[in-house]
């Protein structure tokens, strides 16, 4: 056996979760890399069409009984799920950091946001209450009730492998729907672990299923007539595609795309808190989130002092593996992402913007791994609105 083959057999394998069972896929295998080290971390399968069909079929078969299960019983399972997730918090936080590269503190923050979503779903008995009004007109009463749709699909991004799936499936299943989750192929293991814990909490087989893959898998989920609703978080171009494709096939769709956020700094701004807020927004989670500040508009004479303070703050940030206690900023998700960012920095230079702080020249601590996907905070000044980086 070759050395490369022996290494591959030692990698963690990311299972599918179909009809309450962990399964190995018959599809092709891709390698997941640890962003902080560049080392192979796990084997990720791309599901076959038959496996995706099986997941949808399992969700459809589970729907009649699950939708008729009293909402209090559904909530009781979610309460147990919340308890188990909290019990395994250290493991899950570590997995978030390993998959995505977040610092431990960032992973803890996204973990707590995810827990809040489970807690919200536990309130389904109250949240699902209908309403009624007697005699809205002569001899006419009205009643409104909430009923589950059927099989729902969630397609989630790489930047929050734990939190964003929890935006979706706990609420969907609390309301009596069944679910097929397709996490980002870059960070799928957090989703599989959540499915394991939910089934440990007593979820009936088929109510939650997890499949893996890229566009082919997504297209099958978007067009299958058994799927009634789709939820997506990711880039804007893909969000538009998800919305147009799924809605054309008669599905309810929510598709959340990317964002570019502008901060306006007025001349009377308190400098210390302003700088702290901008840097946390811009470079928290390595800038890989929709709430990241990408443009700061400085009004009047505050501009030059602001640039100086932002640069000073950036120079004091420690960029290294997220599991180190002193880390302020971890790696980006992949070598492709790093190359794309470096390309934008080069474009900014060519267009005539001034680099106030160049992340390509970042100084790293002794434990920095040279094969990780690291870049330091980069700050441009004198950026004109017609420049591509703007």
Catalytically active residues, by annotation: 290
The pair of three-digit structure tokens given for residue 186, joined into one six-digit string: 């870059």
Alpha helices in 133-261 (DSSP H): 163-174, 189-200, 215-223, 236-248
Neighbours of 126 (CB within 10 A): 9
Burial class of 165 by CB neighbour count within 10 A (0 to 12, 13 to 18, 19+): buried
Secondary structure in 3-state letters for 334-353: CHHHHHHHHHHHHHHHHHCC
Tell the residue number behind the tokens 């590269």, with chain if given. Answer: 101
Distance between CA atoms of residues 285 and 295, nearest Å = 17
d(CA 52, CA 18): 9
Cα-based distances in Å from 354 to 153, 251, 269, 296, 308: 45, 47, 24, 14, 13
Task: State how far the Cα of 343 lies from the Cα of 300, in Å rounded to an integer.
Answer: 31
Tokens of 35: 């962003």
Contact 122, 86 (CB under 8 A): no
Looking only at Cα atoms, what is the longest distance across the chain?
A: 83
Q: In degrees to the nearest 10, what's the CA dihedral of 32, 34, 35, 38?
A: -90
**Cα–Cα dist 287/244, whole Å:** 28
Alpha-carbon distance of 374 to 333, in angstroms, equals 9
| CA 99/CA 94 separation, integer angstroms | 9
Q: Report the number of secondary-structure helices (H) and strands (E) in the chain.
A: 13, 16
Rounded to an integer, what distance in angstroms lies between the CA atom of residue 215 and that of residue 221?
A: 10
Q: What is the C-alpha separation between 310 and 100, in angstroms, rounded?
A: 26
Q: Name the β-bridge partners of 150.
A: none
């Amino acid at each position: 056996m070759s050395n490369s083959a022996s290494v591959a057999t030692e990698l963690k394998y990311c299972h599918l979760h179909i009809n309450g069972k962990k399964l190995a896929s018959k599809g092709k295998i891709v390698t997941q890399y640890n962003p902080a080290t560049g080392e192979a971390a796990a084997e990720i399968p791309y599901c076959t069409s038959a496996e995706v069909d099986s997941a949808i079929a399992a969700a459809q078969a589970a729907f009649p009984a699950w939708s008729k299960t009293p909402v209090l019983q559904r909530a009781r399972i979610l309460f147990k799920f919340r308890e188990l997730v909290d019990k395994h918090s250290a493991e899950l936080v570590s997995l978030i950091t390993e998959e995505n590269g977040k610092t431990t503190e960032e992973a803890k923050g996204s973990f707590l946001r995810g827990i809040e979503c489970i807690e919200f779903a536990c309130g389904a008995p109250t949240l699902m209450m209908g309403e009624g009004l007697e005699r809205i007109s002569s001899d006419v009463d009205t009643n409104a009730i909430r009923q589950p749709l059927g099989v729902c699909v969630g397609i989630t991004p790489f930047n929050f492998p734990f939190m964003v799936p929890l935006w979706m499936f706990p609420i969907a299943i609390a309301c009596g729907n069944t679910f097929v989750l397709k996490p980002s192929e870059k960070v799928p293991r957090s989703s599989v672990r959540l499915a394991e814990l939910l089934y440990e909490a007593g979820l009936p087989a088929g109510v939650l299923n997890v499949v893996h893959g890229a566009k082919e898998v997504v297209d099958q989920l978007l067009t299958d007539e058994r799927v009634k609703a789709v939820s997506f978080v990711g880039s804007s171009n893909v969000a538009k595609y998800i919305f147009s494709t799924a809605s054309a096939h008669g599905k309810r769709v929510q598709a959340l795309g990317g964002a570019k956020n502008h901060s306006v700094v007025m001349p009377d701004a308190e400098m210390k808190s302003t700088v702290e807020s901008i840097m946390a927004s811009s470079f928290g989670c390595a800038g890989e989130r929709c709430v990241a500040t990408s443009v700061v508009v400085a009004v009047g004479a505050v501009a030059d002092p602001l640039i100086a303070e932002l640069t000073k703050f950036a120079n004091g940030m420690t960029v290294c593996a997220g599991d180190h206690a002193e880390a302020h900023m971890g790696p980006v998700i992949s070598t492709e992402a790093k190359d794309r960012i470096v390309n934008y920095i080069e474009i900014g230079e060519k267009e005539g913007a001034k680099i106030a702080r160049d992340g390509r020249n970042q100084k790293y601590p002794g434990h920095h791994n040279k094969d990780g996907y690291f870049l330091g905070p980069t700050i441009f000044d004198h950026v004109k609105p017609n420049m591509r980086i703007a």
